């Protein structure tokens, strides 16, 4: 029997009182054999795409017309929750992206495939909206609502959630219409589950409540293995977005399920996947207690994975890796105060800074220079007085970066000035012997900025001059006034107004 004929055979007339979910259902065959027949027809081999599209539209009409009592069986168990779950799974599979047969690293580039996926997503999303609306309507019935909450929702919500997250954001396989339907569906899904947000849906309302994150990860797990994750282009995005909704203290109980996929993504050869994986690792580091991360040497595993990325030459990846490492070092290392009381030893923070400075010294590409310089001050602050172990190489990096203009924003120079400022503040006893080199580099940079007739905006020039003056003042303090003495002769022999104004401000500072 065809689906359209099957639907016509259902005498789903409106019951005497549609406002009461517990009133007797209209005459017609029970829901279980009907849904079983629909699932059988939809899953049959040889059914074409147009035929399935027609079935999906007919199924939407069925759910819209069906009575809650007939559909969910509040008075008599005439439909198995697993059957609805199987039907939801079949519909999700129908709207899913085609699997990749080879390690191409992304979905097919055929726009026709994307258009077809978006159209199917809209049709299936409307079916799910109708089904969830019926579930929401059962909340007015104590017995029927209990059946839905205890039996039906566990089989359906996880699958519908993955479907919505796959299509709710702007991706190559979505359209404005499919995103709108998916976002509406996600809102209704959270409402049906009795939650106020997606985070609450996944985590639970309290720390003791389980939430549905474990169920979602159970559904994603087969698609997140080393052999399968690249065949499902959307799975990595679903995993990443879902992971970022779960925070402390709930995430720690799921560490075993989220850490391996994150490491797997970060270990890929494609930059996009590496960045996605590192961002997932960073979220885990921020939201899992240090004791759990250090157990079984998990933190060390993550550290070695991130340290390996420091050898790449992609600026965007280096940016996320340096930020992630900075927070991981707090987990791996004891406080700098305690470190300073012990003999010097190679520690993760020293290893990272040594490698970063080595790369900075030889780096000529401006995007990477900007990234390094922007993140260097945080590492100097983290080491504190222990930065003195790296002063020789750090001095060469500072001087080299102050010499080179890196464009209108001058991000590298501004970052290096902040680095020098932090270095002077933390390692001031070691600055006197480096005074001549640093003073010469700062004055040369001030001269370059004041005589620059290029495209550098005036606010950027002002920021550079202000940063240089702060460094000169700090150098003067830690050298017991030697900077003012050296600047006195320059002030009288210099004719540049900007340089004279900077020197005057340093001399007037008390």
List the single range of 11-15, 126-130, 144-148, 355-359 with lowest mean pLDDT: 11-15
> Could you read off the pLDDT of 67-123 as tens digits, one per residue?
888 888 744 454 568 888 999 999 999 999 888 765 555 555 566 788 899 999 999
> What is the CB-side half-sphere exposure of residue 408 using CA atoms within 13 A?
3
Q: Does residue 503 carry a pLDDT above 90?
A: no
Q: What is the pLDDT of residue 13?
A: 43
**SS3 label, residue 495:** coil
Whole-number Å distance between alpha carbons of 136 and 144: 11
Count CB atoms within 10 A of the CB of residue 411.
18
Q: What is the pLDDT of residue 282?
A: 98
Where b means 16+ CB within 10 Å and e means fewer, 297-315 reads ebbeebbebbbebbeeeee
3-state secondary structure 54-99: HHHHHHHHHHHHCCHHHHHCCCCCCCCHHHHHHHHHHHHHHHCCCC
Q: Does residue 424 carry a pLDDT above 90?
A: yes
Q: Does residue 475 carry a pLDDT above 90?
A: yes
pTM exceeds 0.95: no
Mean pLDDT of 303-326: 96
Q: What is the pLDDT of residue 344?
A: 52
Mean pLDDT of 125-138: 93
Q: What is the pLDDT of residue 76?
A: 46
Confidence label for 175 from pLDDT (cuts 50, 70 and 90): very high
- Token couple for 357: 């400075």
Which distant-in-sequence residues (6+ apart) come within 8 Å of 371 by Cβ? 315, 318, 319, 322
3-state secondary structure 262-326: HHHHHCCCCHHHHHHHHHHHHHHHHHCCHHHHHHHHHHHHHHHHHHHHCCCCCHHHHHHHHHHHH
Alpha carbon distances (Å) from 159 to 165, 254, 320: 10, 19, 31
- Token couple for 299: 């933190």
Whole-number Å distance between alpha carbons of 280 and 329: 17
In degrees, rounded to 5, the angle at the alpha carbon of residue 114 between the alpha carbons of residues 110 and 115 is 110
- 252 or 102, which is more confident: 252
């Amino acid at each position: 029997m065809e689906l359209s004929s099957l639907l016509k055979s259902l005498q789903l007339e409106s019951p005497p009182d549609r406002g009461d979910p517990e009133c007797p259902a209209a005459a017609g065959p029970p829901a279980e054999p009907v849904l079983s027949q629909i699932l059988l027809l939809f899953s049959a081999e040889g059914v074409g795409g147009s035929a399935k599209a027609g079935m999906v539209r007919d199924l939407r009409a069925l759910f819209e017309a069906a009575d809650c009592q007939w559909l969910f069986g509040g008075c008599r168990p005439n439909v198995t929750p697993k059957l609805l779950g199987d039907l939801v799974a079949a519909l999700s599979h129908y709207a899913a992206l085609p699997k990749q047969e080879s390690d191409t690293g992304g979905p097919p580039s055929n726009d026709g495939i994307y258009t077809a996926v978006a159209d199917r997503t809209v049709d299936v999303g409307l079916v799910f909206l109708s089904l969830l609306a019926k579930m929401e309507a059962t909340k007015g019935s104590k017995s029927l609502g209990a059946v839905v909450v205890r039996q039906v929702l566990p089989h359906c919500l996880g699958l519908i959630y993955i479907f919505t997250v796959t299509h709710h954001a702007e991706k190559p396989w979505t359209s404005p219409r499919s995103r709108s339907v998916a976002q509406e569906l996600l809102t209704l899904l959270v409402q049906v589950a009795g939650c106020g947000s997606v985070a609450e849906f996944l985590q639970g309302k309290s720390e003791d409540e389980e939430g549905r994150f474990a169920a979602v990860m159970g559904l994603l797990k087969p698609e997140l293995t080393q052999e399968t994750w690249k065949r499902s282009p959307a799975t990595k995005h679903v995993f990443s977005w879902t992971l970022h909704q779960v925070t402390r203290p709930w995430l720690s109980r799921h560490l075993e399920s989220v850490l391996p996929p994150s490491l797997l993504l970060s270990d890929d050869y494609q930059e996009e996947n590496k960045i996605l994986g590192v961002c997932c690792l960073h979220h885990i580091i921020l939201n899992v207690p240090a004791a759990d991360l250090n157990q079984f040497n998990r933190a060390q595993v993550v550290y070695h994975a991130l340290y390996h990325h420091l050898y790449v030459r992609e600026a965007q990846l280096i940016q996320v890796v340096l930020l992630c490492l900075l927070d991981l070092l707090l987990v791996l290392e004891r406080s700098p105060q305690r470190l300073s009381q012990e003999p010097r030893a190679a520690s993760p923070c020293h290893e990272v800074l040594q490698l970063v400075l080595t790369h900075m010294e030889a780096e000529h590409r401006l995007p990477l220079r900007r990234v390094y310089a922007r993140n260097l001050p945080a590492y100097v602050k983290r080491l504190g007085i222990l930065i003195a172990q790296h002063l020789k190489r750090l001095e060469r990096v500072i001087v080299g970066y102050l010499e080179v203009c890196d464009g209108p924003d001058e991000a590298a120079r501004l970052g290096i000035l902040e680095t020098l400022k932090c270095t002077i503040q933390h390692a001031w006893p070691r600055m006197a012997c480096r005074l001549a080199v640093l003073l010469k580099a700062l004055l040369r940079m001030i001269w370059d900025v004041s005589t620059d007739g290029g495209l550098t905006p005036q606010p950027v020039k002002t920021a550079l001059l202000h940063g240089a003056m702060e460094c000169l003042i700090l150098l003067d303090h830690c050298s017991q006034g030697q900077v003012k003495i050296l600047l006195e002769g320059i002030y009288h022999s210099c004719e540049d107004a900007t340089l004279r104004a900077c020197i005057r401000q340093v001399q007037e500072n008390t």
